[in-house]
Amino acid sequence: MARRVHGRVIRVRRRGARGISYPVYIGRGVLSSLPGALRRLAPAYRYFLITDSRVRGLHGRALLASLRRAGLTVSLLSVPAGERSKTREAKARLEDRILALGGGRDSAVLALGGGMICDLAGFTAATYHRGIPFVPIPTTLLAMVDAAVGGKTAVDHPRGKNVIGAFHPPRAVFADLRFLETLPEREFRSGLAEAVKSAVIGDPVLFRGLERDPSAVLSRHPDAVLNLVLRSCRVKARVVEADERESGLRAVLNFGHTLGHALEHLLHYRLLHGEAVAIGMALEARAAAAAGIMKAGEAGRIIALLGKLGLPTRLPKGVPPGRVLIAARADKKAERGEIRYALPRKIGEMARRQGRHVMPLSERLVLAALQ
């Protein structure tokens, strides 16, 4: 890889943490500064580079060699690729490996991969010796614009997605856009769903830009991709800074995720996360328009943009709408068995009800949207 670096830095400031913040490095070639940054921001006697079986061959071994050449002590651990590895059992196996390799409180975890690896490795770091440093190195667009930033870590349970986890902010995030050059088309488009979500909840300029010319991003033009990742991360950083532990505003990041998570679970993760979230956003926007929370034209714009980006917007055939609602009631955002949704009032602004950013919807309206 070329050594030339084209990058930007966003800082996520943590309230109540004595002004502590962590940098998010975004750009082509930012990974070249990883060894020096680790020594400054996440110093450790030993590093554990956690990845999946697919990324291990693509990027894991090369990064391992690079870090070792820089004089760092690093062990490479991997789990099978796919959401099925995001379990308590996989986490326990990682912990056993780290213990066997002599990992102590002076260790740190590096997460190389997509959203699944960022969540799994982050949760492992959160609980190992009651918390050791964690540095995500996202390799997918979805992880760059969402999963790697914010400090939420989790594993799935047979009864729901992300129901067991912890808040564990990273020491730094390295989003090297060169990884996206080899990302399969389906996974790239999946990441665009989370970027659309960011635009809907807090960046109407990004939304209009995608509406006006989706081809620049779809063709992975470097400037368009850098702008997309930067603007999406800025939206998430603003929300996380205001509400690190999801006690209020951070709930807006769940737009599309209430029904999206239910779909993922029902279909045993055959849908990619971004595909499920795209369907969830379309369905929740339709229901919000039917409830008078947002104008039908605004909901139509969201659905149209998702379609332009090649993302699904309808419930897959063969999925009973009633089962989606049953699965959604098991979601961690439900309260007393009542499903709660984060809904837009218009593009760039989320709705509030009684001072809260989540609200119930009539099941009749949701079922109509599902059908």
Query: Catalytic residue at 6?
Result: no
Query: Catalytic residue at 129?
Result: no
Query: Catalytic residue at 162?
Result: no
Residue 354: the pLDDT is 86
User: Which of 83, 162, 168, 194 is labelled catalytic?
Assistant: 194
Query: Catalytic residue at 227?
Result: no
Residue 6: the pLDDT is 62
pLDDT digits (tens, 9 = 90+) for 349-359: 999 998 899 99
User: Which of 171, 231, 250, 357 is labelled catalytic?
Assistant: 250
User: Which of 246, 275, 284, 298 is labelled catalytic?
Assistant: 246
Query: Catalytic residue at 257?
Result: yes
Residue 135: the pLDDT is 98
* Residues lower than pLDDT 70 in the chain: 1-6, 15-19, 332-333
User: Which of 162, 231, 244, 254 is labelled catalytic?
Assistant: 254
**Three-class SS of the chain:** CCCCCEEEEEEEECCCCCCCEEEEEEEECHHHHHHHHHHHHCCCCEEEEEEEHHHHHHHHHHHHHHHHHCCCCEEEEEECCCHHHCCHHHHHHHHHHHHHCCCCCCEEEEEEECHHHHHHHHHHHHHHHHCCCEEEEECCHHHHHHHCCCCEEEEEECCEEEEEEEECCCCCEEEEHHHHHHCCHHHHHHHHHHHHHHHHHHCHHHHHHHHHCHHHHHCCCHHHHHHHHHHHHHHHHHHHHHCCCCCCHHHHHHCCHHHHHHHHHHCCCCCCHHHHHHHHHHHHHHHHHHCCCCCHHHHHHHHHHHHHCCCCCCCCCCCCHHHHHHHHHCCCCCECCECCECCEEECCEECCECCECCECCCHHHHHHHHC
**Which of these, 315, 282, 264, lies nearest to 200 by C-alpha position?**
282
d(CA 103, CA 125): 11
The residue written with tokens 């602004």 in the block is 349
User: Which of 197, 236, 265, 286 is labelled catalytic?
Assistant: 236
For the domain spanning 6-182, the CATH number is 3.40.50.1970
In this chain, the answer to whether the domains covering 6-182 and 185-370 adopt an identical fold is no
Residue 333: the pLDDT is 67
Residue 332: the pLDDT is 64
User: Which of 261, 286, 340, 357 is labelled catalytic?
Assistant: 261
pLDDT digits (tens, 9 = 90+) for 31-40: 999 999 999 9
Residue 3: the pLDDT is 44
- At 71, give phi and psi (nearest 5°): 95, 10
User: Which of 130, 212, 317, 336 is labelled catalytic?
Assistant: 130
CB count, 10 Å around CB of 238? 14
Query: Catalytic residue at 231?
Result: no
Answer yes or no: are the C-beta atoms of 237 and 250 closer than 8 Å: no
d(CA 37, CA 108): 13
Residue 2: the pLDDT is 36
Residues found in the chain = 371
CB count, 10 Å around CB of 6? 14
- Residue type at position 266: L
pTM of the predicted model as reported, rounded to 2 decimal places:
0.93
Answer yes or no: are the C-beta atoms of 352 and 333 closer than 8 Å: no
Query: Catalytic residue at 270?
Result: no
d(CA 74, CA 220): 32
For the domain spanning 185-370, the CATH number is 1.20.1090.10
d(CA 357, CA 145): 21
Query: Catalytic residue at 130?
Result: yes
d(CA 86, CA 178): 25
**Which of these, 156, 109, 162, lies nearest to 131 by C-alpha position?**
109
So where are the chain's domains?
A: 6-182, 185-370
User: Which of 168, 171, 273, 301 is labelled catalytic?
Assistant: 273
Answer yes or no: are the C-beta atoms of 141 and 183 closer than 8 Å: yes
